Chain A
Amino acid sequence: MAILQIKNLHVSVDTDQGTKGILKGVDLTIRSGEIHAVMGPNGSGKSTLAYSIAGHPKYQVTDGEILLDGENVLEMSVDERARAGLFLAMQYPVEIPGVSVSNFLRTAKTAITGEAPALRTWIKEVRESMDNLKMDPTFSERNVNEGFSGGEKKRHEILQMELLKPRFAVLDETDSGLDVDALKIVSEGVNRAHTANDLGVLLITHYTRILKYIKPDFVHVFVDGKVAEQGGAELADRLEAEGYDRYVKA
């Protein structure tokens, strides 16, 4: 049983108009096997939370802490966080010209586990995961995210999550831009990793649509850089009916 704690997190970014506070005291605790949905209107700081957990240099933590089994995550570099078991499925994965998916996956797996995976079992594992996500085998020969459709990029993110087996995964609007078929495929991937690895999931989403396929244990409503309300899955149903207006006006 692992535990990821976010305590009183304050984060700011540098803008042309000076430093701007985005997160204003976030408290969240996620345990292995739990699925937490973070929902909120645009600009509420959902993606900032995701990037801050992963350690993107653009985001400065000005107060608070993030602890993984008591270890100070904020002192770790981006790659150390990944090796400690944190994973961020990105909303806008970048293209890396000249680096093939197969080379990338093998390099990442080697980095995470500290040794190169046995070739034969690794190839089999990659093929099975790609098969599950309905990805064409030629996909592994393409360059990372280069010329990928929106749906392919998201599947590729989930593929990495299944293969790298993190302890906690933050999914940053993984549902955005997906049609229903792709949404189902991606959701099944998340559910598989959740079951297989007792994965803790922080599911960041603007819409309730994905929650039909991934059942959250907890729902947190994010407004203006803070958790405005939290509850169980029923809170998502209420948001579906009422939208965010209630929070934004308040």
Chain B
Amino acid sequence: MTDSSANVQHGLIEHSHGAGVPLQIRSDRPRSKSVSDFAAIDQRQDLWRYLDSSALKGLDADVLAEYKNEVQFAETAGVTFTWIESTDSRVGLIGLPEDRVAAAAYTNASKTLLVEIAMDVVLVEPLRINIVGSSNTASALHLVIVANKFSDATIVLEHSGLGVLGENIEIDVQDEAKLNFVSVQNWESGSSHVAAHYSRLGRSSYLKHSVATFGGDLVRITPVSTFTGSGAEVEMNGVYFADAGQHIENRPFVDHAAPNCKSRVTYKGALQGNKAHTVWIGDVLIRVVAEGTDTYELNRNLLLTDGARADSVPNLEIETGEIEGAGHASASGRFDDEQLFYLQARGITVDEARRLVVLGFLVDILQRTGVEDVIERMTSVLEDKLGRS
């Protein structure tokens, strides 16, 4: 989809459509820790077709610097934070790189921050991990988050400052555990950030995975959620706002590899200004074993000005017909005139009405994180951005 208004809406169990057919089956993508296993990045490759590779600022190179001092966290009862060697057997268990940048980050992060929430621990306050960059040297970071059985926690990972970061995050949500994971990308301009999140969900576990991206010249996130036990549920949410020249790319993937699991993927974005570009590729795979799957993915984009471009491609691969439901919707367009009319009919000027509608459209996703200070601070970031239009 380009900068014209367009709609795709299905609630079908099986279907195919031209734009949505993946060039390569998502599950067949090669995985490797080694940079040399991936060809040099080039826009002719499907995986990188939307991106000007110069924006990577060296994240695809063989050698990267490393983040460690940039990572801040506070010790909390019931949670252990440990920097372990990346050669440790606890690293790489949940997911391996599927592209060259992720492999470069994997190889170059000699240490990995292991964050472990102990069994049965219920955290009332969100756990904070702040990553504050201060240079434009291409760097690598690796995190492993383990939510042990029956634990219940919220983790807010926030990126700010100036950074050029390749990041791998493994998230192990064990049987019956509940995890609310929020990753905020609020970088200064001049920053590039390419992240891969690998989540594995055990039996009857629950993961709420949110990404909120507002700052950074290039931010590309590939969050993968894989069900390995039955009866689990994942809610993947994303919110983003691209200003002139910003490129924000999200490539969520849900791998239904276990029966009776539920997934909901909801991403919403707004774009304003020349060459504001967003890309959303939403993949869902329902494997033969995944009977009773219930999945729905949705992407909506609001184009606030001319010159912005939103690409949105939902893909659904279904290998079993014995499912509860599978659907997707994707739409990129301009304002809902009926919403503007309603607000204007109450005396609110068209500019103010637009501001309210855009904020509301995006804040809806922020609210789902349930983390008050994130909702408040990111709402004011959005207000600032809208004030600039």
Contacts and interface: CB of A to CB of B under 8 A. Distances in A.
Interface of A: 54-57, 77-79, 81-83, 87-88, 90, 93-94, 96-99, 103-104, 107-108, 111-112, 143, 160, 164
- The B interface is mostly helix, strand or loop, or mixed, namely helix
22 contacts: A54-B341, A57-B337, A57-B341, A78-B341, A79-B344, A79-B347, A82-B345, A82-B346, A82-B348, A90-B342, A94-B336, A96-B339, A96-B356, A97-B361, A98-B362, A99-B360, A104-B346, A107-B356, A108-B343, A108-B348, A111-B348, A111-B349
A108 B347 contact: yes
Contact of A111 (B338, B352, B360, B363): B352
B361 A98 contact: yes
Contacts of A55: 345
A107 B352 CA distance: 9
Nearest to B340: A78
B367 interface: yes
A99 B341 contact: no
Contacts of A103: 356
B382 to A, nearest CB: 10
B79 interface: no
A116 to B, nearest CB: 13
A13 to B, nearest CB: 14
Of A55, A78, A93, A160, most B-chain CB atoms within 10 Å: A78
Interface string B318-348: 0000000000000000001111011111111
A29 to B, nearest CB: 22
A79 B348 contact: yes
Given A79-B350, A98-B362, A112-B347, 9 more contacts: A96-B360, A97-B360, A98-B361, A99-B360, A104-B346, A104-B356, A107-B356, A111-B346, A111-B352
Contacts of A143: 360, 364
Which interface class (under 10, 10 to 19, 20 to 34, 35 or more) fits B?
20 to 34
A82 B344 CA distance: 8
Contacts of B341: 54, 56-57, 78
Give the 7 A-B CB pairs with smallest separation, nearest first. A98-B360, A82-B347, A98-B364, A78-B344, A108-B346, A111-B347, A99-B360
A105 B356 CA distance: 12
Contact of B345 (A78, A96, A98, A107): A78
B359 interface: yes
B357 interface: yes
Interface in B39-81: none
B240 to A, nearest CB: 15
A96 B343 contact: yes
B347 A77 contact: no
Given A98-B359, A99-B360, A77 B344 contact: yes
Nearest to B351: A79
Contacts of B336: 94
Contacts of B352: 107, 111
